[in-house]
């Protein structure tokens, strides 16, 4: 009873404090003495509108074992709780364990202690006494004295993000984090220098020494210092600019922005070195969209004589569809840290001159050829004049040489570590990187005898004695038994070609359902949905020491003749190899479970590449169109059994690390052998918008249905928009109709949306549009074969003026 009274008195005395705190939170104020504890049920300190919150944000919330938290300011109404400020301990990770506490004090301001009470970080108030804290609707957390003078605020101590209303003064700057989930300081900086230039640069993490800038604003005027920049402004309307000393402006946001009343804005120096301004609808549940970013191509622009480049050493940087870098290790190399996909790569072999080591033995090595790739900072030798064979042979004989670049009779030798590896379509030279030829391994070091080996040896000796000492009949019986046992053991490695009884040996791996369950973590990560099932990302053991990412397609449709159709695909695709087709690695045919295991391509689908916020490079788009055509030509004419895809669309075109197009989902459609009728008697297959008209009529279905779909896809590649988009307005919703009117009226600029790269190549643009119109003719007999399509695209055959593809349809208009 006494304890109950004490508890009641405690609540009575504490009630005014909690009421004060609750009332204060309505207007964003935080009283001195207020605390927050990481991992507790206490609410963060909110701004008056609730848009921003100050508090602990759990890192990697999906991992229940992760008990690390970040004291930060974040968007409170966005599902992902995007962080815009966090405590910065320079060379230390700012993440703290569960039970850590932040307290607003009068003398030091904000003080963060770990669960043992040790101070981890503080806001360091130099002069004055804190009376109150404010979490403002601008995203700025401010500490003020009793006279309302500002003692400290987050805007004056930025980390990796600027918000509207925030300024950045000379010699102030932003620092990137180490990775998307590691908030330790990364190696990229965004600074306004004393001379007035705004720069992006890499810094040495140990010393902070700044390497050469890879972006410079050019706002330094040596002839007129008043024209130089001195402050970076991010106004409430969503525009960023550099304010010059004479009051002039240098605009960073050059495009018109969406209304700030309806959208959130932020500008962030991303962990990969790209500085970007983003916007997000306040009443939406979408992803952040990019308003602008610098540099245009960080893989190429980063340059400099020191450092590894955008990615780690020995890595290759390529640009993603959102102009962000992607890093990959070349053949024969693997990540130094498997958890850091942007880090350095290490060779999986010894390349050494020590004691006349393996580097001298050229028979042990081979080259992997890479296109449009260079490591410009790693040269140590040059030979000229040299031909390609001389270049490669010289490198094989040089124990220092890790790679060579050959162009126009010149041969550049590269040594480890390879730095600033980049992919650029403008690079015309050939790159050859040396890797270990595993087929020619040197003799291995003898290992100690294994007791099990001794047992096996004794058994073999005993068996040999029996065979030698027995009669001819017994010997014959032993041999037969051995052969039969061998046959049954390895029978599972053969695939029976349905519907016949013969067996055909393939290189495909037969997986059990349990293996694929484990490989996909119980089918956890869905990466796509195809016409016949769902695709999951997985990882399989490829060798004893390495793993391979795979895409596992779990077939969920019931076929009329399911077993035969499935085995047909396994058989046909297992023998189908082309650089523009996705490769099948294995399969599972266990009871009712039928799954296909494909190689995993990191750059995703052509749909995400084309229909993102940024329009991809014109030359890259045209190359992709040519590659799709070559893949289709192989399926239609070069396979032993002709394959009609029946569902050509951007979702079924995947892009590899170098943005080469690879056709997927082929082989599940009905197959046509060369001696069969050219008609498929089956239900309509394909996707709305890409389906040829003959599917809806009682007429033959031939390879021309793929030509029709390719024509629609080609128009999507040209215009970077979907084949049917009601948001474009009723007149422009159907791309095929609108494209023909644009062609007829010569309005190519409207079709490509003012794409200057395309308009500068208007002859090629017009040719591609004409080819696409030939492909989408309603009458299949008027459509060219895919072979002729490719010849027209490549300029082998002249493209004649195409007729109206829909002679009975009305014009949609192109203005």
Cα 419 from chain centroid (whole Å)? 21
Is residue 783 exposed (0-12), middle (13-18) or buried (19+ Cβ within 10 Å)?
buried
Phi, psi of 605 (to 5 degrees): -95, 160
Angle at 678 between CA 677 and CA 683, to 5 degrees: 105
163 and 82 Cβ atoms separated by less than 8 Å: no
Cβ contacts of 216-225, under 8 Å, gap ≥ 24: 217/242, 217/250, 217/252, 219/244, 219/250, 220/193, 220/195, 220/196, 221/196, 225/196
Tokens of 459: 């058994």
Longest dimension (CA), the chain: 112
**In three state form, how does the secondary structure of 509-564 look?**
EECCHHHHHHHCCCCCCEEEECCCEEEEEEEEECCCCCEEEEEEEEECCCCCCHHH
Tokens of 89: 């301990």
The DSSP element (H or E) to which 168 belongs, if any, is: strand 167-169
Choose among 300, 466, 435: nearest CA to 369.
Answer: 435
Cis peptide bond prior to 482, omega within 30° of 0 = no
Phi, psi of 48 (to 5 degrees): -55, -40
DSSP 701: -
DSSP string covering 46-62: EPTTSSEEEEEEESSTT
DSSP 678: S
DSSP three-state, residue 291: strand
**In three state form, how does the secondary structure of 771-809 look?**
HHHHHCCCCHHHCCCHHHHHHHHCCCCCCCCCCCCCCCC
**In three state form, how does the secondary structure of 210-276 look?**
EEEEEEECCCCCCCCHHHCEEEEEECCCCCEEEEECCCCEEECCCCCCCCCCCEEEEEEECCCCCEE
The DSSP element (H or E) to which 626 belongs, if any, is: helix 618-633
Choose among 737, 735, 669, 741: nearest CA to 703.
Answer: 669
Is 415 flagged in the annotation as binding?
Answer: no
Which residues participate in catalysis according to the annotation? Answer: 647
650 and 621 Cβ atoms separated by less than 8 Å: no
In the β-sheet with 379-383, what is the strand arrangement from edge to edge?
Answer: 365-371, 430-436, 403-407, 410-414, 379-383
Tokens of 66: 């992760």
Tokens of 190: 């965004």
- The answer to whether the Cα torsion of 452, 458, 464, 469 is positive or negative is negative
Neighbours of 637 (CB within 10 A): 13
Q: Which residue ranges are tagged as binding site? A: 554
Q: Which residue ranges are tagged as binding site for ATP? A: 554
């Amino acid at each position: 009873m006494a304890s109950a009274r004490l508890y009641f008195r405690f609540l009575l005395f504490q009630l005014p404090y909690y009421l004060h705190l609750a009332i204060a939170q309505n207007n964003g104020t935080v009283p001195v003495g207020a605390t927050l504890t990481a991992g507790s049920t206490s609410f963060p300190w909110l701004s008056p509108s609730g848009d921003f919150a100050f508090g602990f944000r759990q890192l990697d919330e999906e991992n229940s074992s992760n008990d690390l938290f970040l004291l930060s300011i974040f968007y409170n109404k966005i599902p992902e709780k995007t962080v815009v400020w966090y405590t910065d301990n320079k060379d230390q990770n700012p993440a703290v364990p569960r039970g850590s506490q932040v307290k607003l004090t009068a003398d030091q301001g904000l003080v963060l202690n770990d669960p043992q009470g040790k101070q981890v970080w503080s806001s360091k108030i130099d002069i004055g006494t804190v009376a109150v804290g404010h979490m403002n609707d601008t995203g700025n957390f401010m500490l003020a004295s009793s006279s309302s003078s500002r003692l400290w605020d987050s805007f004056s101590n930025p980390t990796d993000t600027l918000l509207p209303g925030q300024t950045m003064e000379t010699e102030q700057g932003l620092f990137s984090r180490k990775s998307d989930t590691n908030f330790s300081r990364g190696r990229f900086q965004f600074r306004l220098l004393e001379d007035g230039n705004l720069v992006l640069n890499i810094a040495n993490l140990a010393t902070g020494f700044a390497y050469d800038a890879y972006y410079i604003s050019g706002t330094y005027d040596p002839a007129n210092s008043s024209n130089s920049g001195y402050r970076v402004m991010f106004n409430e309307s969503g525009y960023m600019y550099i304010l010059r000393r004479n009051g002039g402006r240098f605009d960073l946001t050059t495009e018109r922005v969406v209304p700030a009343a309806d959208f959130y804005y932020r500008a962030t120096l991303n962990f990969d070195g790209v500085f970007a301004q983003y916007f997000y609808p306040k009443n939406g549940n979408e992803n952040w969209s990019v308003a602008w970013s610098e540099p245009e191509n960080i893989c190429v622009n980063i340059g400099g004589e020191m450092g590894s480049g955008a990615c780690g050493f020995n890595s290759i940087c390529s640009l993603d569809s959102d102009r962000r870098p992607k890093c990959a290790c070349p053949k024969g190399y693997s990540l130094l840290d498997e958890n850091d996909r942007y880090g350095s790569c290490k060779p999986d072999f010894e390349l050494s001159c020590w004691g006349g080591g393996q580097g001298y033995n050229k028979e042990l090595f081979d080259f992997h050829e890479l296109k449009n790739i260079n490591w410009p900072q790693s040269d140590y030798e040059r030979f000229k004049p040299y031909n390609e064979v001389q270049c490669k042979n010289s490198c094989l004989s040089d124990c220092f040489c890790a790679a060579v670049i050959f162009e126009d009779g010149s041969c550049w030798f590269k040594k480890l570590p390879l730095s600033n590896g980049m992919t650029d379509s403008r690079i015309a030279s050939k790159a050859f990187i040396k890797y270990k030829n595993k087929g020619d391994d040197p003799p291995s070091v003898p290992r100690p005898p294994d007791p099990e080996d001794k047992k096996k040896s004794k058994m073999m000796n005993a068996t040999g004695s029996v065979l030698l000492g027995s009669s001819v009949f017994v010997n014959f019986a032993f041999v037969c038994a051995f052969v039969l046992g061998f046959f049954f053991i390895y029978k599972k490695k053969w695939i029976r070609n349905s519907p016949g009884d013969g067996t055909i040996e393939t290189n495909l791996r037969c997986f059990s359902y349990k293996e694929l369950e484990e490989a996909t973590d119980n089918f956890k990560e869905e990466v796509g949905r195809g016409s016949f099932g769902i695709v999951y990302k997985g990882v399989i053991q490829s060798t004893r020491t390495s793993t391979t990412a795979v895409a596992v397609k779990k077939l969920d449709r019931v076929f009329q003749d399911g077993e035969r159709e499935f085995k047909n695909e396994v058989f046909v695709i297992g023998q189908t190899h082309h650089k523009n087709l996705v490769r099948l690695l294995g399969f599972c045919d266990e009871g009712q479970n039928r799954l296909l295991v494909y190689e995993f391509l990191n750059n995703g689908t052509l749909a995400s590449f084309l229909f993102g916020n940024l329009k991809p490079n014109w030359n890259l788009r045209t190359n992709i169109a040519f590659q799709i055509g070559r893949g289709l030509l192989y399926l239609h004419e070069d396979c032993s059994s002709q394959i009609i895809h029946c569902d050509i669309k951007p979702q079924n075109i995947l892009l590899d690390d170098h943005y080469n197009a690879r056709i997927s989902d082929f082989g599940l459609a009905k197959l046509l052998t060369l001696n069969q009728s050219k008609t498929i008697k089956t239900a309509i297959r394909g996707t709305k918008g890409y389906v040829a008209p003959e599917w809806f009529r009682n007429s033959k279905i031939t390879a021309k249905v793929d030509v029709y779909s390719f024509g629609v896809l080609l128009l999507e590649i040209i215009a970077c928009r979907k084949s049917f988009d009601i948001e474009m307005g009723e007149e422009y919703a159907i791309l095929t109709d609108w494209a023909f009117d644009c062609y007829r009226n010569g309005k190519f600029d409207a079709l490509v949306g003012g794409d200057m790269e395309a308009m500068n190549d208007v002859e090629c643009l017009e040719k591609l549009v004409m080819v696409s119109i030939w492909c989408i003719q309603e009458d299949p007999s008027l459509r060219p074969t895919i072979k002729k399509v490719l010849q027209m695209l490549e300029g082998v055959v002249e493209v004649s003026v195409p007729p109206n593809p829909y002679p009975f349809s009305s014009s949609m208009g192109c203005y």
